[in-house]
Structure 1
Amino acid sequence: MVDRGLLYREWKQNQVVILLSIVFLVFANPLMVYHRYTSSQACLAHSDPQYCSFILNYHISSNIQINWVVGIILAVFLMGLERSKGSMDFLLSLPYTRRKIFQTKFWLGAVVIVFSQLIGFILAWLLILILKPEQVNYFEHGSIGMIITSFMFYSLVMAAGTLAGNAFAQLLTAFATAILPYLIITLPIYHIGILSGLQAWNFFSYEFDHKLMDFTPIFYMDSSWVEESKYLLLIPAVMSILFYLIASISFTKHHNERNGHFFLWRTLDRPIHILVIVLGILSFGLMGYSTGKSIVGYIIGMIIGGIVGFLISYFSIYKKVRH
């Protein structure tokens, strides 16, 4: 599944970013534990002991909640920057199948993300046993959950990279996908509320809105999911598998002659162009209405949104980026 020659090539090309990613992910968790310990000890030296508790809270003060950023960086280096620099053309000309190239790239980054954080989890667990904090909240759930969410964002950005022809398009596509489930449902509901004169939130309950966020990838950037049920992590786990399948099929099946364009698959250009215009109309229309609560502002906002959406999507999608 993973070729040694390709693995060595990826290692040599991305050696610095891989090593930095491993160091950060391995030590982020234990260093957070040790930092909380030293902070409590420093407090004891200058303050009343009742104000110097040694508590670990993986919901409020967890520095590992930004570990997902490493997954995004790795995906950009392994896929997007290769296309932006043109080195992907050379890689695809080597006597390896597209499937083997993708599997080597994908699982190299996946191993870095998963096993580095597992080592960090073990080190943090040992530190907790040694230092004996007064209270530990959500340690297992927060640490394992961060591994899953980091892998989800890595898979998402890798999938975007297999569809996009440059690093900018990869990141923009990933971001749009991360917020799209929420946008395509809430924006139309707000507009229905404006046109009907009813409050938008009357159309669905708070519980429905909360569940909708659970299926929106960007929701997992924040650590608020830690307070939810442990079974909530099944959602990003399933999304990770879905993004992996999309990435694998896309990299294997799509041609590479549009390297540098926004999308490698020309068929996506027109529907995404139209979708961006529609979202621009809906978003700016809502902004125009919210400024003065008037239909005039609503219509003007929609016109501006349509123009902005057309220009941004046209020059982004239809203009090739030079290497």
Structure 2
Amino acid sequence: MKTPRFWYQSASHPFAKYLNPFSKIVILANRFRQKISQPKYFPIPIICCGNITVGGSGKTPIALEIAQILKRNHFSPHFLTRGYGRKKKQSHFKNLYISPTNPPSIDLKFFGDEALLLGRVAPCWIDSDRRKTALLASQMGADCLILDDGFQSPLLYKDLNLLLFNGQHAIGNTHILPAGPLREPLLDAIKRADYAIIVGEDRFKLSDRLKKSGLPTTHVSLAPSSTFLNQFLSEPVCAFAGIAFPEDFFKMLSQYGLKLVKTYVFSDHHIYTKSEVEKLLKIAKRFPLLTTEKDAMRFPEEIRKYFMIVKVKVIWHSAQKRDEIFQILLKKYKARMSQ
């Protein structure tokens, strides 16, 4: 699905005005769901890397970064995901599990690109029933769980709610679905969040608004690895991406000195057709062809090798606030263990 342009235009756009009555229904439904649901409490901490906009806030890179921090501190995190973007969901392939030592043994379409990426760093469970996979993960040795998305889900008790924002796009036209990109009102989300992370340049000064509400806020940037940069700085390159905001990916490459001569845009979680693959392979014969790690997961290994996969790293603007987030989690972990 391509993001509707009017979501990131004026709040008084005719489409937004027309759809706004439906947004009110979505707000009421979400608030009712939050009110009546009883979150299931697990004996190990649960960290949620979520957002309030539809796609493109940097959840997956941050979830991977949190997992790496936990592993460096001798934790054994597992990921829980619904497997968004996967195309095959037969009942006999529920409770799917992949990990760095347990790569997929069936069709990649059963997993979704995000799960495949997460499973390279830590064990990842894929199922729409996160309560069930949380129990399975705890039985398989996890001592903390990371939700990639799930901020709006009231089914699991979350010890640490990280609310992520794309600084380039903030909260769009401020309207709720379908009139805008928000899944719920900002103030509703702030009440449940423990920390906000703004990914990229804060173009709309969203941090000022978040700090006024009392929500602790920090900033991070995404950057290509230095090894990758050194390899391609001296030659023209092409790039393609099928993510929520492909222009953000292309802009990052240009900002770090890469000479983009042509870019190709696809919809978020796009499944590439045979003809599209053939076209991309022809381009790759003429220029180094760059793409995101998430896009690369949608190709079989024999095709993937022809593309230059851009690995990104998370740069914390404040190491102190990064450590503060970890200390909050550590405090909650110790409290759990003492019960």
Question: TM-score band (shorter)?
Answer: under 0.3
Q: TM-score, normalised by structure 2?
A: 0.27
Whose Rg is larger? 1
Judging by fraction of residues, say which structure has more strand: 2
Judging by fraction of residues, say which structure has more helix: 1
Q: TM-score, normalised by structure 1?
A: 0.28
